[in-house]
């Protein structure tokens, strides 16, 4: 058999293993190792297993992942973000669907210290959904809003997906953060528009709730947001101002979160232990998948299948726009079945050369890719954020109700993706301006 035939067979084996629910990191490593063995010999396969993981883990930027994760878990377990929702609730309650809008702002603020969609959804689901249901909000709107708003977590820096993408595609992580910030703000505005329009068309979804508060009480509520504001300003002012690198930003953010939690008197030994444990387990899981993806990249590169696919697709004479539309459709379908990190690392070795050859900016594509993967977090059948919300709210809403609730937010997301493809400068203008 030729090298291309071997690669094709093992890609099919890989897809079968994933469909059988074998952990994606193990699947990637096993297929790549055996594929290299069959394509060449035992020594090359064994040598790759020793060299590739070390070469990948040797990236200095990679150390920012556990640091940012630790920052997020500290903020989560010490409840530093709870004041965000309380303040937004008081200030925005008079708007149509005010509590739902407050939830979106709460998720955006939480995203700025976690970078995790699942953590965003879990935290705000515990705080916001019961409050909305208590005020006679439709469970569909309440749960759908929080599940969808949780996806902002991967767009607003720090974003673990963007860090991994930056390492693999060799793009500036700081530039990716800036582009993601723009798209995150656009998504936030779009979600608020969806809530207001839906409530205007059907006021029964969210009966008016007016929280009476004096000016003093309002500004006191704003004062409760100081823990998150201090961390966000401390980390990102230095990062985007050039005072320190993304790696240093992660370390400083982790230190700041601990100091702020200590000042806020919410840092307990139990919270610290849980934050450390979850940081270690999450980092280990991410690294296993990333190492497997690096081995797959080596396997596909040596087989030549990536170049062959790229040449074949480009040889059809299809316009770059149609190629990009095809990539968007593929990622939307993958998002329905795989979690974001796995879907991204599994496909980048094949997709990146195609995107590069079509003339699209890899920086721009990274932001669009993260957006597409986050849409997958709220689409059936996987919809991880939906299942997280279901686990948090229990019998308050069924899975069907939550999926119905996110439908209009998915529509808004698809419109945003369309605008990003039609006008790439939406993503690129801020990184270019900062440079």
Q: What integer pLDDT is reported at residue 212 of this predicted model?
A: 67
The Cα 387–Cα 395 span in angstroms is 13
Angle at 178 between CA 173 and CA 181, to 5 degrees: 120
Q: What integer pLDDT is reported at residue 210 of this predicted model?
A: 67
Count of other CB atoms within 10 angstroms of residue 203:
12
Q: What integer pLDDT is reported at residue 111 of this predicted model?
A: 75
Q: Would you tell me the crossing angle of helices 82-92 and 98-114 to the nearest 10 degrees?
A: 150
Q: What integer pLDDT is reported at residue 195 of this predicted model?
A: 93
In angstroms, the Cα distances linking 40 to 32, 104, 224 are: 12, 53, 61
- Map out the domains of the chain as residue ranges: 1-58+290-303, 59-267+304-434
pLDDT of 68-80, one tens digit each?
Answer: 888 878 887 887 7
Q: What integer pLDDT is reported at residue 332 of this predicted model?
A: 85
pLDDT of 315-344, one tens digit each?
Answer: 666 788 888 888 888 888 877 777 788 788
Instruction: Collect all residues with Cβ–Cβ distance below 8 Å to 264 and sequence separation of at least 6.
Output: 78, 80, 227
The Cα 105–Cα 136 span in angstroms is 20
Q: What integer pLDDT is reported at residue 306 of this predicted model?
A: 66
pTM of the model: 0.82
Percent of the chain with pLDDT over 90: 15
The Cα 206–Cα 197 span in angstroms is 11
Which of 336, 343, 354 minimizes the C-alpha distance to 403?
Answer: 336
Instruction: Collect all residues with Cβ–Cβ distance below 8 Å to 298 and sequence separation of at least 6.
Output: 32, 36, 48, 52
Q: Is the Cα dihedral 49, 24, 57, 299 positive or negative?
A: positive
- SS3 track for 184-205: HHHHHHHHHHHHHHHHHHCHHH
The Cα 81–Cα 213 span in angstroms is 21
Residues with pLDDT less than 70, the chain: 1, 93, 115, 209-215, 217-218, 305-307, 309-310, 313-317, 435
Q: What integer pLDDT is reported at residue 409 of this predicted model?
A: 94
Q: What integer pLDDT is reported at residue 126 of this predicted model?
A: 77
CA torsion 9→11→13→17, rounded to 10°?
180
């Amino acid at each position: 058999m030729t090298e291309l035939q071997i690669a094709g067979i093992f890609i099919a084996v890989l897809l079968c293993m994933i469909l059988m629910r074998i952990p994606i990191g193990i699947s990637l490593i096993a297929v790549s190792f055996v594929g290299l063995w069959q394509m060449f010999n035992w020594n090359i396969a064994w040598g790759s297993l020793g060299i590739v993981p070390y070469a990948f883990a040797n990236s200095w930027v990679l150390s920012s992942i556990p640091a940012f994760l630790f920052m997020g878990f500290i903020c989560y377990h010490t409840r530093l973000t709870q004041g965000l929702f309380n303040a937004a609730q008081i200030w925005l309650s008079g708007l149509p669907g005010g509590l739902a809008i407050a939830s979106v702002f709460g998720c955006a603020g939480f995203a700025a210290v976690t970078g995790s969609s699942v953590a965003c959804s879990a935290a705000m689901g515990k705080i916001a959904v019961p409050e909305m249901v208590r005020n006679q909000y439709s469970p569909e709107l309440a749960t759908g809003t929080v599940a969808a708003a949780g996806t902002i977590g991967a767009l607003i820096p720090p974003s673990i997906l963007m860090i991994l993408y930056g390492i693999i595609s060799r793009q500036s992580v700081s530039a990716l953060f800036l582009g993601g910030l723009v798209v995150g703000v656009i998504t936030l505005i779009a979600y608020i528009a969806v809530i207001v329009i839906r409530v205007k068309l059907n006021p029964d979804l969210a009966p008016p709730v007016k929280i009476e508060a004096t000016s003093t009480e309002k500004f006191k509520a704003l004062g409760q947001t100081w823990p998150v504001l201090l961390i966000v300003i401390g980390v990102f002012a230095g990062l985007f101002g050039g005072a320190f690198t993304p790696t240093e930003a992660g370390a400083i953010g982790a230190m700041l979160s601990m100091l702020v939690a200590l000042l806020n008197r919410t840092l307990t030994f139990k919270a610290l232990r849980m934050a450390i444990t979850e940081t270690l387990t999450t980092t280990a899981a991410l690294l296993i998948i990333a190492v497997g993806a690096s081995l797959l990249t080596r396997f596909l590169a040596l087989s030549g299948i990536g170049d062959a696919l790229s040449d074949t697709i480009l040889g059809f004479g299809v316009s770059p726009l149609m190629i990009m539309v095809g990539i968007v459709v593929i990622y939307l379908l993958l998002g329905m079945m795989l979690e974001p990190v796995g879907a991204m690392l599994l496909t980048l070795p094949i997709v990146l050369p195609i995107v590069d050859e079509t003339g699209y900016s890899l920086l721009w594509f990274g932001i669009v890719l993260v957006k597409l993967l986050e849409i997958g977090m709220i689409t059936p059948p996987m919809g991880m954020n939906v299942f997280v919300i279901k686990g948090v709210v229990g019998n308050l809403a069924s899975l069907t109700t939550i999926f119905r609730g996110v439908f209009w937010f998915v529509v808004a997301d698809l419109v945003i993706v369309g605008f990003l493809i039609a006008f790439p400068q939406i993503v690129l203008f801020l990184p270019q301006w900062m440079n």
